[in-house]
Copies of this chain bind each other. A is one copy, B any other.
Amino acid sequence: MAERIFGHIPGVAVGTLFANRRELSTAGVHRPVQAGICGSGKEGAESIVVSGGYRDDEDHGDLVIYTGHGGNDPATKKQVSHQEFHVGNKGLAISCDSGLPVRLVRGANGDPAHSPTEGYRYDGLFTVTRYWPETGLDGFRIWRFELCRFEDPTESTGHSVAEDHLAGSTQPAPREQATVQRIVRNTSIGTRVKALHDYRCQICETRIETLAGPYAEAAHIRPLGRPHNGPDVESNVLCLCPNCHVEFDRLAIYVSNDFVYSALTGERTNRLRTVRRHVIDARQLEYQKGLCQTNGNQ
């Protein structure tokens, strides 16, 4: 198998149309002629095809909630078994952790609002911003991936505004220079919660000091935005250090009855520190725990 190319395929412009999967494969845009994900559980995923193959898919244009592969009956499009966390599914998760860009291809059978009328269209680079398992419409475990376009669609370089500016260059940097691995957002609610905890991690008690003062991150327990639609309220936010934040968002830990558990081993680790003025909504903790536990690791 040829070496994986992460990013644009040289000579293939965003918007290029292909008559069928064979042409897509020959062009190297999406090499497998059947599978919706081209990737491995070692290196990451290089491309996906969004073509309405899964009932759980959501296509919002620049935001796609994509269903992993496996356990699907092509004839009925129904799930007939659980999806496993391996091959392409694990590949997309690795792409999330490493920030590797994923080529997104849309097929004519996808959401009419965003899909070509016939054949397949290369729609450019997306990054996997979040992944989680859930029980799909048919009652089986599916893996879900939030993909966001992370580039200025008007830019032919396929380079994100943020990347170029952070690279400190007014010229687009070479595609391989940098991909975005992690973006930490903050909200005014988050700022209040961090202050309530004096910027000390509620899980491990770490308090990072910088010249500008203490540093902590606000972690939304139930994520904001589609499809989780968690509320941006104090009771849905934890004050965490970056390390615990990564583990919490990546579903490696969850909180149950005031204790922190490893979602990988199931063992109990720390107690979650709380303060009276910061009430935490147990339902949101249950929601995040649900994401951790649906993964079948336990």
Contact = CB atoms under 8 A, between A and B. Distances in A.
B212 A94 contact: yes
Contacts of A52: none
A161 B163 contact: no
Closest 8 CB pairs of A and B: A168-B225, A242-B242, A148-B165, A93-B212, A210-B250, A168-B226, A182-B184, A178-B185
Interface stretch (A55-63, A68-76, A116-124): A55-63
B186 A178 contact: yes
A38 interface: no
Contacts of A246: 208, 210, 215, 242
A93 B211 contact: yes
A210 B161 contact: no
Interface string A106-141: 000000000000000000000001010000000000
A252 B170 contact: no
A286 interface: no
B183 A162 contact: yes
Given A161-B152, A210-B246, A225 B186 contact: no
A166 to B, nearest CB: 6
Nearest to A64: B165
Contact of A129 (B161, B166, B211, B213): B166
A174 to B, nearest CB: 9
Determine the interface band of chain A, counting residues with CB < 8 A from chain B: 35 or more
A210 B247 CA distance: 6
Nearest to A143: B211
Interface of A: 60-63, 85, 90, 93-94, 96-99, 129, 131, 146, 148-150, 152, 154, 160-170, 176-188, 191, 206, 208-213, 215, 217, 223-228, 232, 241-243, 245-247, 250-252, 263-264, 295, 297
Contact of A188 (B176, B206, B242): B176
A247 B241 CA distance: 12
A252 B209 contact: yes
A16 to B, nearest CB: 22
A96 B212 CA distance: 9
A209 B209 CA distance: 24
Nearest to A94: B212
A63 to B, nearest CB: 5
A213 B94 contact: yes
Given A148-B166, A165-B148, A242-B243, A178 B224 contact: yes
